[in-house]
Amino acid sequence: MRIEDPKIVAALPDLGVQLKPRTSLAELTSLGIGGATDLLSITRHDAIPDLLNLLDGQAIPHKFLGGGSNLLVGDGELPWVVLQLASPQPDIVLEGNFAQVDAAADLGRTVTFCAKNDLGGMEGLIGVPGTIGGALRMNAGAYGMQIGSYVREVKLYRAASRQMETLQGDQISFEYRHTSFAPDDMMLAVKLELPSKPYPEILKGIRICNEKRRASQPLGQKSAGCIFKNPPGASAGRMIDELGLKGLNVGDARVSDRHANFFVNSGKASAKDMLTLIAGVRERVEKSFGVILEYEVVVWNA
């Protein structure tokens, strides 16, 4: 979608918003799939309500993009514009055991920055691509930990009330790959409380998680991480593997040979290819195991 209304275009600089016309989302997502649309890069949180009023006034639909690492975007000209936070500098400020982190901060960099300052707890998240905001929204986790355990406060823009709000940790529920945030809430910043740990000890944990991840996941390939959530008490990857579906493909969309819950873009896969592959695998799992797998990947296909 193009933003062509001169009134909107003229108002953007004063709001600290940069218009990036016809941005390819294939280049902003770890799957390397997705069509094009206008992107609005936001440098000031306080400008968000005015920006959204402007867009709503012209009935321009929008979506919030984080790090694009858990996202499957549709093909072609996209029928909405994309809003993305630009990361301020510094994007992480430490005070005692608290880390105040901007939503646009890179997750891996946050884990290592905190580690170097003797703050641990998030070792399992090393190697998970994306931003702090994205990790927060879906309660990213791995190797027995989840980010929600460390969240004490979240600053967000609530589309429903059209206001910036600050929620305390106990006002938010964090479950397995799910939170109580509304789909159109925009994460802005988070305050984490992390346990003190000497850096060498954290580093040991980080190395162990890194090795496990490297051994079991296709890290060098374009993917969105796990496509499906694990059903209670089972592993989606193991079920897909047991059906012999590793390597199954639709065009360049392929079930990874290394981990069957990772679907990779091995070349020029389209969203249509990937969605067809996902639907096919889901159907096979349902037929054989009687389990309807739930998507973990977020799909923006309209």
At closest approach, how far in Å is the CB of 300 from ligand EPU? Answer: 17
CA dist 260 and 256 (Å) reads 5
Q: Which is nearer to ligand EPU, 32 or 35 (CB)?
A: 32
Q: Which is nearer to ligand EPU, 36 or 239 (CB)?
A: 239
CA dist 206 and 125 (Å) reads 8
Tell me which stretch binds ligand EPU (CB under 6 A): 5-13, 78-86, 224-232, 263-271: 224-232
Q: Which is nearer to ligand EPU, 171 or 173 (CB)?
A: 173
- Helices 107-116 and 199-216, axial angle in degrees (round to 10): 150
At closest approach, how far in Å is the CB of 146 from ligand EPU? Answer: 10
Interface map 129-168 toward ligand EPU (x if CB under 6 A): -------------xx-------------------------
Backbone angles phi, psi at 260, to 5 degrees: -70, -10
Using CB under 6 A as the binding rule, the residues of this chain from 14 to 53 that contact ligand EPU are: none
- Sequence-separated (6 or more) residues with CB below 8 Å from residue 242: none
Q: Which is nearer to ligand EPU, 110 or 261 (CB)?
A: 261
Classify residue 87 by its DSSP letter: P
At closest approach, how far in Å is the CB of 39 from ligand EPU? Answer: 24
CA dist 156 and 166 (Å) reads 6
Options 177, 213, 258, 284, the catalytic residue? 177
At closest approach, how far in Å is the CB of 202 from ligand EPU? Answer: 18
At closest approach, how far in Å is the CB of 279 from ligand EPU? Answer: 18
Which of 43, 235, 249, 276: binder of ligand EPU (CB under 6 A)? 235
282 is an active site residue: no
Which of 109, 178, 229, 284: binder of ligand EPU (CB under 6 A)? 229
Scan for tokens 């079930």, then name that residue: 255
Long-range contact set of residues 253-261: C-beta below 8 Å, sequence gap at least 24: 253/277, 255/281, 256/217, 256/218, 256/221, 256/223, 257/218, 258/216, 258/217, 258/218, 259/216, 259/217, 259/218, 259/226, 260/236, 261/226, 261/227, 261/228, 261/235, 261/236, 261/237
Token pair in block for residue 61? 């639909």
Which of 238, 244, 279, 286: binder of ligand EPU (CB under 6 A)? 238
Using CB under 6 A as the binding rule, the residues of this chain from 256 to 295 that contact ligand EPU are: 259-261
Q: Which is nearer to ligand EPU, 19 or 243 (CB)?
A: 243
Decide: 285 and 58 in contact? Cβ < 8 Å: no
Q: Which is nearer to ligand EPU, 131 or 261 (CB)?
A: 261
Decide: 192 and 150 in contact? Cβ < 8 Å: yes
209 is an active site residue: no
Half-sphere exposure of 68 (CA within 13 A, CB side): 17
Options 209, 226, 254, 282, the catalytic residue? 226
Q: Taking CB under 6 A as the rule, does residue 222 contact ligand EPU?
A: no
Nearest to 224 by CA among 263, 186, 255, 185: 263
CA dist 230 and 141 (Å) reads 12
Q: Taking CB under 6 A as the rule, does residue 216 contact ligand EPU?
A: yes
Q: Which is nearer to ligand EPU, 41 or 261 (CB)?
A: 261
Scan for tokens 């789909």, then name that residue: 183
Instruction: Just list the catalytic residues.
Output: 177, 226, 296
In the complex, the residues that contact ligand EPU under the rule CB under 6 A are 142-143, 216, 225-226, 229-230, 235-238, 241, 259-261, 296
